[in-house]
Structure 1
Amino acid sequence: MSYQALYRVWRPQQFKDVAGQEAVTRTLKNALSHGNTSHAYLFSGPRGTGKTSAAKIFAKAMNCKNPKDGEPCNECDLCRSITQGKLGDVIEIDAASNNGVEEIRDIREKANYAPTEAEYKVYIIDEVHMLSMGAFNALLKTLEEPPMNVVFILATTEPHKIPLTIISRTQRFDFRRISAQDIIRRMTYILNEKNVEFDPDALMSIAKAAEGGMRDALSILDQVISFSDGSVTLDDTLRITGSITQDLMIDYISAALNHDTEKGLGLLHQMMQEGKDANRLVEDVILFSRDILIYQKTKDENLLKMSKVDERFSELTVNAQPEKIYDIIKIMNQTQQEMRTSTHAEVYLEVATVRLAQIKSEPVVTTQSEVKKDTDESQEIQSLKNKLKQMQKAIEQMQKNGSDSETVRAPKRKTSRKAAGQTVFKVNTHQVFGILKQATRNDLAKLKDVWPDLINALSTSQKAIMNTSKPVAASPHGLVVTFDYDILCERAANDTFLIDAVGDYLEKVIGHRAELATVPSDKWMDVRQAYIDQMKNENGNQEESTKQEETKETDEVDAVVSEAVNLFGKENVTIAD
């Protein structure tokens, strides 16, 4: 028998084997155990996260003769037939190649026939977003009123392309990216079963290169096993994935922080000669810089994407200034944009390396100014002391003369300005208030629903900015997003590429673009309260104006009545409302 890839051999056969999707598998198992299954399901999520595998397991569990707690037995004839793809009552369809109206009409006609062997006929439609609009319309009626004992399972990586009329007729389950720990746990189990020696650091490198996809991880693992002749080592893994070692990355970042241009260029040429991909290198530098910032603030190793905490990494995070790491991310992000339209990626990387090494630290730039500032402050303090002595003498003299009623006013001084380099993001309250004026809960609910998918659709550098973002208010054509840090708030507000990417995605998903307003998380409640106070003041002014108008009208009526009485006499005047 020919060799089969690892992801095919080790495809999950029970819900407990599906890694990283506990919420989904638990819900499906409980529904099967209690007989509360639906007629249509939508499995959405990134590639390689277990959507099709879960659909096949669900089909087996529905038709299994000996199910246990919602799990299929995998031993009866029906389970084996479904596993081998031979059961005619479980039909798997690729919508990418069967996306026309005729194919869906054929499914509708065949769905009316009862199952031949199994209890339920199950249709698994993979990549369902590839169906044409006519095909979706043909499927709509069947999903609304399906035949008896027929279940549809729709799987897709792009749920925003599916009409809402289809989504509303299904139970939707969102599959998340699998964590590195879950991927490593699954690969460890497989390698132990195959009796293959491995380096734990190599598995960590594979898990991070897979970016949350189990199928991608097993494909890379398959390549490494073949390349290394039966074992899994870190060096072989780095060659296959095109990544660089953490020590080399630390050396490269350290060269930039220490202004060592020659060493930085030498490390860059070394990595290029080893065949490292230029775009992958830029992404690795951005993600590594992101890990430095995250670890500086949280000290949580589980939040790191491509780093492991060791002595050198800990030392680097202690010594690195956050402002300089921000500059590294900014320069690499610009380099990534420039490389997209050029065939000379190495030249842009060399320029970026020189720019990184020229980032100036605060002490180097402001040493002389700081000395001058300290001198000026010392002179100001001495002057204040002299004025204070003069004031004390004046007060004593007034007390002696009995001039207690006179008030001695101290000379006013302007408050000192904030230290150089400290940046505070200024909220555009006019823009935020305009959005809040038309904001609705329904618009906010729509945005919260698509927000994780929106972030996943962004580029790596844009994700680094938007990862801590959270939508807090939305109107039909605007949204307010909070960020944990002022610097991220400022970068999001000034990054036109990011704003365009968010607008393009929302236009595809909800049908219109939305104006993006950014607010730091710690200022959001103050901004919201300021808007509420403004609305109260406007309403109060409006009520006062209405009262004045009514008083004016009353005075005018009284004047007319008085004049009429004077002309015709009180007995001849009748007042009617």
Structure 2
Amino acid sequence: MAYQALYRVWRPQRFFDVVGQEHVTTTLQNALLQEKISHAYLFSGPRGTGKTSAAKILAKAVNCERAPVSEPCNECASCRGITDGSISDVIEIDAASNNGVEEIRDIRDKVKYAPSAVKYKVYIVDEVHMLSIGAFNALLKTLEEPPRHVMFILATTEPHKIPLTIISRTQRFDFKRITSQAIVGRMKLIVDETGVDCDDTALHVIARAAEGGMRDALSLLDQAISFSQDRVTVEDALTVTGSVSQSFLTQLGKAIHEKDAASGLEALDELLQAGKDPARFIEDMIYFYRDMLLYKAAPGLEESMERVMLDEEFQQLASVTGNGEIYEVIDGLNKAQQEMRWTNHPRVFLEVAIVKLCQLEQQQGAVPEVEPLLRRIEQLEEKLARFGENPPASAAQGEGAAQKKPQRTNRKGFQAPAGKINEVLKQATKQDLQEVKGRWGEMLGMLVGRQMRSQAALLNEAEPVASSSSALVIKFKYEIHCQMAMENERFIQAIGAILGELTGKQLQVVGVPEEQWLKIRESFINSQQNDGSGEDGESEEDPLIAEAKKLFGEELIQIQD
């Protein structure tokens, strides 16, 4: 074939060309100059980071006719022969297809023969982790004490699969992912040398899609050059890589921040209609918000950005987006990503995730309502502290003060107005109560419609228990909810106004915790029975109740409406 892929044409031929692995190349160069070459090396790291290229460069450097040198000259017969593969003393073995014991035994038998054309016979074993256990065992002794003219260079992407007995017999070098800046720099050199017209932004898009692999980056650049017409544009790079443009991510981020679900779904539909992969899109969104969080925490760490370029739109969105919102969005996107892995309909989960993210305000809206409660608790704690330091009781107060102390100690944070409740009970009728109960759900809906959603939540565990033509008693399951509701004058007025619109009666609202309601109601019933009076025949005992008392005893009977 006349044409060769870019990553083959531009394969590094010197240590200087191995981008982003200075910690490896510098060590090897110093060892070459000092003639302290080991008999076995292990190169590990992600794909496309230069492991095999570094192995071939090392093989050329030790066999260069000008040795000892820090870089192969690439001009002598040895360097040129190793480069074009004509020298048989540098053997490249693919362990994925030669992973049996017999292949390793063949190597072990041929190791003892001296090289024919160069000083060192070099075995480069790629993907060495694919060898079987028997093959590793067959390699052990040879790897530990090979002849003086033999060098082994093992390369792998999964070093954890290699037995420790093999690793301990080698010098290990860990190759790391190449930064986007280093990949862009290398690609700029290539496009300048080849005369290709390319946008700098397109190179950044390709570098970020390569995820730290130079070979992947050059393959994507090759595709983008073939796809483009006269110039490689950002749109060409986005199409080839399958990535989403930053302007689109910013647009969707604005829709989420402004709680505009319609705009978010419309943008998502446009994206999917363009053929973008939902899994790739949600990954880009997660990295977008990750970069936003890093930018807000440390604006100077631009090199740490994975998906974002710091344009004006991104900086403006980051300035109005809080950290709490970023945490919520990343968490929601991560859950959607996990759910999309096990479904045949990823679009559904993606749309649901966008709608949920646009409704985060409802969950966050209830948070400010806790602040008045926290302030109230602090005030009560301060009062209790002052009370402990300066107790009001004195010897002159006698028994009266002694009787008041237990009352203050046992008193709860909220005391329902028993007098008002008794007055309501005296005038209460079942007809008035049934009318309020029939309108209760409608009243809750109107509260939500008047932007009092968080306040209306206090009534989730509450219900009307007594009503007259002018007043209403609401029982709360929890005392703290009752206290918060009764201390909110605007909320109480809103309840009365809405019930007035629905029933035509102006009702005064009184709240009571469930525990106190039971006591107040029981006390009221007993007083009515003792006085021989009561509304709606409450003084007359039900014959069923009287019969039950005779059968089981009054102390075992509990009467409930």
Q: Same fold (TM over 0.5)?
A: yes
Going from structure 1 to structure 2, the CA distance change for 1:116 and 1:311 (only over 3 Å counts) comes to same
Counterpart in 1 of 2:333?
332
Counterpart in 2 of 1:247?
247
CA-CA distance at 1:166 after TM superposition: 0.3
Counterpart in 2 of 1:357?
358
Counterpart in 1 of 2:281?
281
Cα distance in 2 for residues equivalent to 1:38 and 1:174: 16
Going from structure 1 to structure 2, the CA distance change for 1:8 and 1:379 (only over 3 Å counts) comes to closer
Deviates more, 1:25-34 or 1:334-343: 334-343
Counterpart in 1 of 2:207?
207
Q: Helix, strand or coil: the match of 1:125?
A: strand
Cα distance in 2 for residues equivalent to 1:371 and 1:114: 86
Counterpart in 2 of 1:35?
35
Cα-to-partner distance string for 1:374-430 (whole Å, 9 max, x where unaligned): 6x5898699899999x97999xxxxxxxxxxxxxxxx99xxxxxxxxxxxxxxxxxx
Counterpart in 2 of 1:107?
107
Cα distance in 2 for residues equivalent to 1:369 and 1:138: 70
* Paired residues of 1:78 and 1:118 also in contact (CA < 8 A): yes
Counterpart in 1 of 2:315?
314
Q: Helix, strand or coil: the match of 2:123?
A: strand
* Paired residues of 1:177 and 1:211 also in contact (CA < 8 A): yes
Q: How does 1:74-223 map to 2 (within 5 A)?
A: 74-223=74-223
Counterpart in 2 of 1:51?
51
Going from structure 1 to structure 2, the CA distance change for 1:68 and 1:318 (only over 3 Å counts) comes to farther
* Paired residues of 2:205 and 2:238 also in contact (CA < 8 A): yes
Q: Helix, strand or coil: the match of 1:93?
A: strand
The CA RMSD over aligned residues, in Å, is: 2.7
* Paired residues of 2:111 and 2:150 also in contact (CA < 8 A): yes
Counterpart in 1 of 2:434?
none
Cα distance in 2 for residues equivalent to 1:183 and 1:14: 17
Identity %: 56
Going from structure 1 to structure 2, the CA distance change for 1:384 and 1:135 (only over 3 Å counts) comes to closer
Cα-to-partner distance string for 1:8-34 (whole Å, 9 max, x where unaligned): 000000000000000100000111111
Aligned-partner residue type, residue 10 of structure 2: W
* Paired residues of 1:295 and 1:301 also in contact (CA < 8 A): yes
Going from structure 1 to structure 2, the CA distance change for 1:259 and 1:87 (only over 3 Å counts) comes to same
Runs of 4+ off more than 6 Å = 377-388, 390-394
Cα-to-partner distance string for 1:28-48 (whole Å, 9 max, x where unaligned): 011111100000000000000
Cα-to-partner distance string for 1:41-72 (whole Å, 9 max, x where unaligned): 00000000000000000000010112474100
Cα distance in 1 for residues equivalent to 2:336 and 2:242: 19
CA-CA distance at 1:364 after TM superposition: 2.9
Cα-to-partner distance string for 1:445-500 (whole Å, 9 max, x where unaligned): xxxxxxxxxxxxxxxxxxxxxxxxxxxxxxxxxxxxxxxxxxxxxxxxxxxxxxxx
Counterpart in 2 of 1:224?
224
CA-CA distance at 1:366 after TM superposition: 3.8
CA-CA distance at 1:312 after TM superposition: 1.6
Cα distance in 1 for residues equivalent to 2:78 and 2:385: 94
Cα distance in 2 for residues equivalent to 1:371 and 1:102: 78
Cα distance in 1 for residues equivalent to 2:278 and 2:62: 49
Cα distance in 1 for residues equivalent to 2:209 and 2:274: 18
Cα distance in 1 for residues equivalent to 2:172 and 2:149: 20
Cα distance in 2 for residues equivalent to 1:218 and 1:127: 21
Counterpart in 2 of 1:270?
270
Cα distance in 1 for residues equivalent to 2:374 and 2:25: 64
Q: Helix, strand or coil: the match of 2:155?
A: strand
Cα-to-partner distance string for 1:510-539 (whole Å, 9 max, x where unaligned): xxxxxxxxxxxxxxxxxxxxxxxxxxxxxx
Going from structure 1 to structure 2, the CA distance change for 1:387 and 1:173 (only over 3 Å counts) comes to closer
Q: Helix, strand or coil: the match of 1:248?
A: helix
Counterpart in 2 of 1:301?
302
CA-CA distance at 1:231 after TM superposition: 2.5
Cα distance in 1 for residues equivalent to 2:103 and 2:381: 86
Going from structure 1 to structure 2, the CA distance change for 1:109 and 1:250 (only over 3 Å counts) comes to same
* Paired residues of 1:289 and 1:329 also in contact (CA < 8 A): yes
Going from structure 1 to structure 2, the CA distance change for 1:382 and 1:197 (only over 3 Å counts) comes to same
Counterpart in 1 of 2:17?
17
Q: Helix, strand or coil: the match of 2:73?
A: coil
* Paired residues of 1:59 and 1:90 also in contact (CA < 8 A): yes
Unaligned residue ranges in structure 1 (runs of 5+) = 395-410, 413-577
Going from structure 1 to structure 2, the CA distance change for 1:381 and 1:197 (only over 3 Å counts) comes to same
Aligned-partner residue type, residue 328 of structure 1: V
Going from structure 1 to structure 2, the CA distance change for 1:36 and 1:230 (only over 3 Å counts) comes to farther
Cα distance in 2 for residues equivalent to 1:40 and 1:338: 45
CA-CA distance at 1:218 after TM superposition: 0.2
Q: Helix, strand or coil: the match of 1:113?
A: coil
Cα distance in 2 for residues equivalent to 1:67 and 1:211: 36
Q: How does 1:447-462 map to 2 (within 5 A)?
A: none
Cα distance in 1 for residues equivalent to 2:178 and 2:329: 28
Going from structure 1 to structure 2, the CA distance change for 1:196 and 1:68 (only over 3 Å counts) comes to farther
* Paired residues of 2:336 and 2:350 also in contact (CA < 8 A): yes
| TM-score, normalised with respect to structure 1 | 0.65
Going from structure 1 to structure 2, the CA distance change for 1:259 and 1:66 (only over 3 Å counts) comes to same
Q: Helix, strand or coil: the match of 2:284?
A: helix
Aligned-partner residue type, residue 339 of structure 1: M
Going from structure 1 to structure 2, the CA distance change for 1:173 and 1:366 (only over 3 Å counts) comes to closer
CA-CA distance at 1:325 after TM superposition: 1.3
Q: How does 1:324-473 map to 2 (within 5 A)?
A: 324-360=325-361, 364-370=365-371, 376=376
Aligned-partner residue type, residue 354 of structure 1: V
CA-CA distance at 1:334 after TM superposition: 1.3
Unaligned residue ranges in structure 2 (runs of 5+) = 394-407, 410-561
Counterpart in 2 of 1:234?
234
Aligned-partner residue type, residue 27 of structure 2: T
Going from structure 1 to structure 2, the CA distance change for 1:141 and 1:270 (only over 3 Å counts) comes to same
Counterpart in 2 of 1:73?
73
Cα distance in 2 for residues equivalent to 1:316 and 1:67: 58
CA-CA distance at 1:367 after TM superposition: 4.7
Counterpart in 2 of 1:417?
none
Cα distance in 2 for residues equivalent to 1:385 and 1:344: 60
Going from structure 1 to structure 2, the CA distance change for 1:118 and 1:363 (only over 3 Å counts) comes to closer
Cα distance in 1 for residues equivalent to 2:26 and 2:364: 56
Aligned-partner residue type, residue 336 of structure 1: Q
Cα distance in 1 for residues equivalent to 2:386 and 2:181: 66
Q: Helix, strand or coil: the match of 1:172?
A: strand
Cα distance in 1 for residues equivalent to 2:209 and 2:273: 21
* Paired residues of 1:324 and 1:361 also in contact (CA < 8 A): no
Aligned-partner residue type, residue 17 of structure 2: D
Q: Helix, strand or coil: the match of 2:91?
A: strand
Going from structure 1 to structure 2, the CA distance change for 1:363 and 1:90 (only over 3 Å counts) comes to closer
CA-CA distance at 1:365 after TM superposition: 2.5
Q: Helix, strand or coil: the match of 1:360?
A: helix
Cα distance in 2 for residues equivalent to 1:68 and 1:147: 20
Aligned-partner residue type, residue 118 of structure 1: V
Aligned-partner residue type, residue 39 of structure 2: H
CA-CA distance at 1:353 after TM superposition: 0.8
Q: Helix, strand or coil: the match of 1:155?
A: strand
CA-CA distance at 1:272 after TM superposition: 0.5
Aligned residue pairs total 397
Cα distance in 1 for residues equivalent to 2:374 and 2:145: 78
* Paired residues of 2:199 and 2:233 also in contact (CA < 8 A): yes
